[in-house]
Amino acid sequence: MRILERLDALYAIGGGPGANRPHPSAAEDEAHELAAGWLREAGLEVEVDAADNLFGRAPERPDVWVGSHLDSVPRGGRFDGALGVAAAIEAVAETGRGSVVAFRGEEVGCVGSRALCAGDAELPSAFLELHVEQGPVLAAAGVPLGVVTGIVGYARGELVFEGRAGHAGTTPMDARDDALVAAAEAVLRLRDAAREIDGAVATVGEVSVEPGASNVIPSRVRLSVDARAPDAQRLEGLVSAIGLEPVQRTEPAPMSAELRHVLREEIERHGLPAIELASGAGHDAGILAAAGVPSAMLFVRSLNGGVSHSPDELSSDEDVLLAVEVLTAALARLAT
Ligand code: GLV
Ligand code: MN
Ligand code: MN
């Protein structure tokens, strides 16, 4: 099947293990060039906007957009973002309706969709995004597809700890001001704060230690913080419990009731139950929804326990092909 081969081709860019197309990078550019070739092959009109987002427009109803992103986290999975773009090409080519969009830099804060929404570009009349679930809910329910109710809000920033550098061999334990020990305690406090709030999560994914030598007591430590919660009140509670001053914040984004209804009906038309679930991951659909664009997301079941942002990310070929069928049917309805 063409879409499965295309997912393989995108996955191979940047070299393994896993997907390695971070934003910005030559690998992300290469993925956009490859996708632009597929758009031309499909007879779509190719455009690149001021933020380097890629579009492939069909003659009918180019105001209805379908797509996702082509960047990845380091050592990411085969499907995250890539599936939504490759599937959108199938859906727009099949129906001759709508526009494919491949956004830049979703993994580092939705750079492309944010830039587009902040500018004076014309926004779509509707946006559909197919994505892997990246969690265990659909597999546990035994269903291949689901419809997203809304996307969590998230806040990102840094916590910085200052200490005093010293000799690792000669400074007694009770005479130290070790910045990494203070940071380690903060990581545990952050975990506990998130556990206290229903539906909240918080992650330290990057640690930088100065001066960074095995025989020197750390004098300065920087922790990255990614904090998420399903609604604005819980997000605010988490941010203040952690003591974070966010440098980036995205409000929780409900998906369009009307578009969700269309996706549910199309899933049911395929003889399947239409389960709805919230998204704990951020998505371009959340940025567009926050800008007032009616948006909806179709999730495809993740296997391997729902693992994502990992080379172990997995969805079955059958589920992917089914998802493309439902996406295509939904687009045909929305872009009449
Ligand atoms: C994007 O994948 C995110 O939720 O961090
Ligand atoms: Mn993604
Ligand atoms: Mn991702």
List pLDDT tens digits, range 176-193.
Answer: 999 999 999 999 999 999
Which pLDDT score is estimated for 315? 98
Reply yes or no on whether the pLDDT at 49 is more than 80: yes
Per-chain mean pLDDT for the chain: 97
Q: Is the pLDDT of residue 1 over 80?
A: no
pLDDT, mean of residues 194-209: 97
What Cα–Cα distance (Å) separates residue 10 from each residue in 34, 163, 172, 286?
8, 45, 53, 24
16: confidence class by pLDDT, cuts 50, 70, 90: confident
Q: Is 281 in the pocket of ligand 1 (CB under 6 A)?
A: yes
pLDDT in tens, 263-322: 999 999 999 999 999 999 999 999 999 999 999 999 999 999 999 999 999 999 999 999
Q: What are phi and psi of 190, to 5 degrees?
A: -65, -45
Q: Which residues, other chains included, contact 197 with Cβ-Cβ below 8 Å and sequence gap of 6+?
A: 229, 234, 237, 238, 241
How far is Cα 193 from Cα 265, in angstroms, rounded to an integer? 39
Atom of ligand 1 nearest to the CA of 280: 4
Q: What is the pLDDT of residue 282?
A: 95
User: How far does the centroid of ligand 2 lie from the alpha carbon of residue 67, in Å?
Assistant: 11
Residue 58 pairs with which residues in a beta bridge?
A: none
Q: What is the pLDDT of residue 309?
A: 97
In contact, 194 and 202? CB cutoff 8 Å: yes
Question: Could you identify the residue written with the tokens 């000799």?
Answer: 167
Cβ 107 under 6 angstroms from ligand 1:
yes
153 lines ligand 1 (CB under 6 A): no
Instruction: Please tell me the pTM assigned to this model.
Output: 0.89
